[in-house]
Amino acid sequence: MVVKSELKLIKSLQQKKYRNEHGLFVVEGKKTLEEVLGSKIKPYKLFALDPKSVTQKSIQTVQISSRELSQISSLKNPNGYLGVFYIPTSKAQTTSDWILVVDGIQDPGNLGTIIRLCDWFGVRDIICSLDTVDCYNPKVLQATMGSIARVNIKYTPLKEFLKKTQLPIYGTFMDGENINTSKLPKKGIVIMGNEGKGISRAVAQQCTHKLTIPQSGESTTESLNVASAAAILLHEIRR
């Protein structure tokens, strides 16, 4: 049995406002939950249909009924476990590697995929503009497949952040240098823009280098999905 006030608290964490107020976020989905449980992210409580099946002894585990679980879950088919964790404080960024900057991405699946890509390519620092979708949104977490536990994410006004950096700042534009022939440095900043509008005007002015991912075949009005573009950029950075 879980007390009503606690059920209410956890349900409220589906909203960014309450996640920030309480400093907590919810993890569901087997793979993501396992990864976060095995990471340095501090657990608050784990709710389980069968607490005996939980092998991590260091976590306070609370038995929950399936009716209660479906009340607080954001999944259509909850899978028996729901973890609540403390939102980690972001660490200072590295100055010796690439940093990925997100400028206004709205789609949770896109941000989650980009976090997963950063993990794969060993880019540890992600800086997000304040209007980017929250990385502790359940759909973002789902798409990260647990990578959220291995990257350092900070939300901050981009203008000030970019002003302070000494690193070269790369963005993708329609009229940039061909990424296939441009020589990328060992460290820098790479910016991924909004799905519809691309990199915002103010941030574009702070870019020191413009890149283009060339299109093959017939030229159309099409664009690359931002997560696909991120895959190609990160691949080129590590090439």
Q: Which of residues 133-162 bind its own copies (CB under 8 A)?
A: 145-147, 150
Show Cβ contacts of residue 89 under 8 Å, excluding neighbours closer than 6 positions.
none
Q: Please give the Cα distance from 77 to 17 (Å, whole number).
A: 25
Q: What is the CA radius of gyration of the chain?
A: 20
The answer to whether the beta carbons of residues 123 and 213 sit under 8 Å apart is no
Q: Which of residues 164-223 bind its own copies (CB under 8 A)?
A: 180, 213-218, 220, 222
How many CB atoms are closer than 10 A to CB 107? 17
- CA nearest 114: which of 176, 191, 14, 44? 191
How many CB atoms are closer than 10 A to CB 1? 8
224 binds its own copies, rule: CB under 8 A: yes
Q: With respect to its own copies, which residue has the nearer C-beta, 102 or 231?
A: 231
Of the residues 18, 44, 120, 155, which one makes contact with its own copies according to CB under 8 A:
120
Q: With respect to its own copies, which residue has the nearer C-beta, 160 or 222?
A: 222
Q: With respect to its own copies, which residue has the nearer C-beta, 24 or 234?
A: 234
Q: With respect to its own copies, which residue has the nearer C-beta, 158 or 231?
A: 231
- Interacting span for its own copies (CB under 8 A) from 5-13, 57-65, 121-129, 156-164: 121-129
The answer to whether the beta carbons of residues 69 and 95 sit under 8 Å apart is no
Please state the separation of Cα 155 from the chain's center in Å.
11
- Interacting span for its own copies (CB under 8 A) from 53-61, 65-73, 111-119, 167-175: 111-119
Of the residues 33, 123, 192, 199, which one makes contact with its own copies according to CB under 8 A:
123
How would you classify the pairing of strands 43-48 and 81-86?
A: antiparallel
Least distance (Å) between residue 114 CB and its own copies: 9
Which residues lie near its own copies (CB under 8 A)? Answer: 109, 113, 116-117, 119-124, 145-147, 150, 180, 213-218, 220, 222, 224-225, 227-229, 231-232, 235, 238-239
